[in-house]
Amino acid sequence: MKTRDVVIFSGQQFAVPQCIQRIDHQSTHGWQLRYGGTKLFSDHSQDGSGAAAALAEATKALLSRIATLPAPSRLQRRPSGNKGSGLPVGISGPIVRQRASSRVRDCSFAVSLPRFGGSPRGRSVYIGTENTYTVEKYQAALAKAVALRESAEEAYQRAATRAKRAEGKALKEQLKSIIAAAPAAKAPKAAPKAAAKPAAKAAPKAAAKPASKAAPKVAVKAALKPAAKTAVKAAAKPAVRKAAGKAAAKSARA
């Protein structure tokens, strides 16, 4: 797979594989992957300092998609607008001709069979002569032509996917240093989250329980006990003194 040199707004230069496009627009800075769909890998910075890590992530995602998805097909999937026969893509006809050795004309379908890395191959599917032509023979010949075209497209797709995956393996070896930067870029993001959760949850709970429940109970009990004992003693002393005075007066009268 080919790479190209891309210079971003900060002046940094990168070797960028095909299917990855640089996006620098207002506050959006990153690399857009265009293979099996599109996905943006942001720099997460406004000065271009995260461009290398973002490119590493985009390259890893590209290699993963190449290894698991079929290669994008360049084959035409729908008939062109100026085709008037209504036949599927790659099939034309019926073509009527008269051979030099025959007195009657015959008709057939022309089928274009694509080949990956080579020019398409033409194939003729016979329908019948003007004496033997029937609607059933026409339909049977058309079904055969469609099956030939579909088989050729499947073979083309398999060959294209094999070639693209071989390019992906070569690219992986070529850009080892760039791809290795992706895990290092993700590591700092996980550490603050892991450290913040225990501090935010555990500390308030541990601090709240002693202050709200345990401390008031201990303080109230400690304050009540001495006060109750003092009040009982204070109330008992006058009663004892009165009883002693009455006893002394009775003894004096006697």
167: CB partners within 8 A, 6+ apart: 1, 66
Which helix (H) or strand (E) segment is 190 a member of? Answer: helix 181-209
Confidence at residue 85, expressed as pLDDT on a 0 to 100 scale: 74
Instruction: Tell me which amino acid residue 241 is.
Output: R
pLDDT in tens, 75-87: 877 777 777 677 8
Q: Give the number of residues written for the chain.
A: 254
Q: Give how far Cα 65 sits from Cα of 121, 126, 163, 164, 208, Å.
A: 31, 42, 14, 11, 52
CA atoms within 13 A on the CB side of 57: 19
Confidence at residue 147, expressed as pLDDT on a 0 to 100 scale: 93
Confidence at residue 110, expressed as pLDDT on a 0 to 100 scale: 92
The position carrying tokens 């088989």 is 151
Preceding amide of 216 cis, omega within 30 = no
* pTM of the predicted model as reported, rounded to 2 decimal places: 0.56
Largest CA distance in the chain: 174
Where along the chain do its domains lie? 3-69, 91-159, 195-254
Confidence at residue 178, expressed as pLDDT on a 0 to 100 scale: 59
Positions of the chain with pLDDT lower than 50, given as ranges: 183-192, 194-240, 243-244, 248-249, 251-252, 254
Confidence at residue 213, expressed as pLDDT on a 0 to 100 scale: 46
